[in-house]
Amino acid sequence: MTKVINGKELAQDLRNKLKEEIINLKAKYNKVPGLAVVQIGNVAASSVYVKAKTKSAKEVGIEIIDHHLDQEISELNLIKLIKKLNNQDNVNGILVQLPLPNHINEQIILDTIHPDKDADGFHPLNVGKLSISATNDENLLIPCTPYGCLLMLRGLNVDLKGKNVVVIGRSNIVGKPMAQLLLKESCTVTIAHSKTKELSKLCRDADILIAAVGRPEIVREDWVKNGAIVIDVGINRIDIEEDGKLKTKLVGDVLYSEVESKASAITPVPGGVGPMTIACLLRNTTIAFKNKLSN
Ligand code: GUN
C-alpha cells in the first residue's frame, strides 16, 4: 500500500509544538517572536502565500509586522526598510516574499537581511552554515521548503543512510539546500536540471525522488522505481476544461494519478509540501527569537 504523506497533519503537529513553546517563552520573557512580512506589488500567487503565512504565524502566537509596498518602490528604499527592520527590536525574522519586481536585484535584497533575522534561510552566511555544519540543526536558519521535505522524510521512519536521492531542480530556494540537507543525512545525492541527459533514466534509479522543477506533471510513471519515495515540491496552476468551462487546477511536478501506485510513499498537491513550508517559516522565526535570547 502506498503511504500518502499528509503534509497538512504534519504541519499542524509542528504548529502545535511551536504554539506551546511560544506560550512558555512568553510566560518566561514576556515577549513573543515577531516576523516582518514584506510583500512588493500584487502578484496573485505571492498574495496567496503571504496571507497563508500571516494566518499561520498568528495562530501560533507570532506577531506579524506587515509591510505591503508599492510595485514601484525603489531598490534603495527597500534596502532602507530592511535595514530599519534589522534594527527593530520586536522583529526577529524578516521575510521578503519572492519574486521581486525586475528593477530590484533579488540577491542584494537577500544579502541586506541580517543573517540572524533571515526567516527564509537564504542569506549567504546561513547557506554557508548549512553546507558546513554538523548534524545538529536546532539553531540553524534553514530554507523552509527543503526542511519541510526533510521532516516529511524523517516522519516515514525509514533509514535515510546510503539512499540514492535524485533532486530535480537546482534552485537556491529548494534544489541546492535540499541536496545539502540530504547529504547531512548520509544520502547519495544527485541534482538534476534542465541540461541533465536521460533524466527519466536517472530518476528511475532513485530510492527517493524529489521533484522541484516547476513543470506541471513532468514526472511520469516510467520515471519512478517501484517502491520509491516521491516528494512533489511543484505548485503549478494549469487551465482545464470541465463541463465546457475553463477552470484552473493546482497540480504538482508529478503526475500523481500515474505515480501513486508505484511509489511506497508520495506527497499530494495540494496538502503535501506547501503547509510544511509555512510551518518551517514559523520554526525559523521562533529559532531566531530563541537565538537572540541566548546571546
Ligand atoms: N517565493 C516562493 N517561495 C518562497 C519562499 O520560500 N520564500 C520567499 N520569501 N519567497 C518565496
Establish whether residue 171 lines the binding site of ligand 1, counting it when its CB lies within 6 angstroms of any ligand atom. Answer: no
Q: Report how far ligand 1's centroid is from the alpha carbon of 59 (Å).
A: 20
Name the residue of 37, 51, 95, 98 whose CB sits within 8 Å of the most ligand 1 atoms, as the mutation to test its pocket: 98
Nearest alpha-carbon partner for 94 in 107, 106, 109, 82: 82
In DSSP notation, 102-153 reads TTS-HHHHHHHS-GGGBTTS-SHHHHHHHHH--S--TT----HHHHHHHHHH
Nearest alpha-carbon partner for 189 in 149, 227, 157: 149
Establish whether residue 110 lines the binding site of ligand 1, counting it when its CB lies within 6 angstroms of any ligand atom. Answer: no
Ranges under pLDDT 70 in the chain: 134-136
Give the number of the atom of ligand 1 that is nearest the alpha carbon of residue 46.
1
Q: Report how far ligand 1's centroid is from the alpha carbon of 39 (Å).
A: 11
Question: How many CA within 13 A on the CB side of residue 221?
Answer: 5
Instruction: Note whether 242 and 20 are within 8 A (CB).
Output: no
pLDDT tens per residue across span 148-161 = 999 999 999 999 99
Q: Which residue has the cell 503549478?
A: 236
pLDDT tens per residue across span 12-55 = 999 999 999 999 999 999 999 999 999 999 999 999 999 999 99
pLDDT of residue 58: 98
pLDDT of residue 233: 98
Indicate the fold that domain 30-114 takes in CATH. Rossmann fold (3.40.50)
Do 30-114 and 143-274 agree at the fold level?
yes
Listed by start position, the domains of the chain span 30-114, 143-274
User: How many Å apart are CA 54 and CA 9, to the nearest integer?
Assistant: 19
Q: Report how far ligand 1's centroid is from the alpha carbon of 205 (Å).
A: 30
Establish whether residue 269 lines the binding site of ligand 1, counting it when its CB lies within 6 angstroms of any ligand atom. Answer: no
The residue whose C-alpha atom lies closest to atom 2 belonging to ligand 1 is 98
Thinking of the domain 143-274, which architecture would CATH place it in? Answer: 3-Layer(aba) Sandwich (3.40)
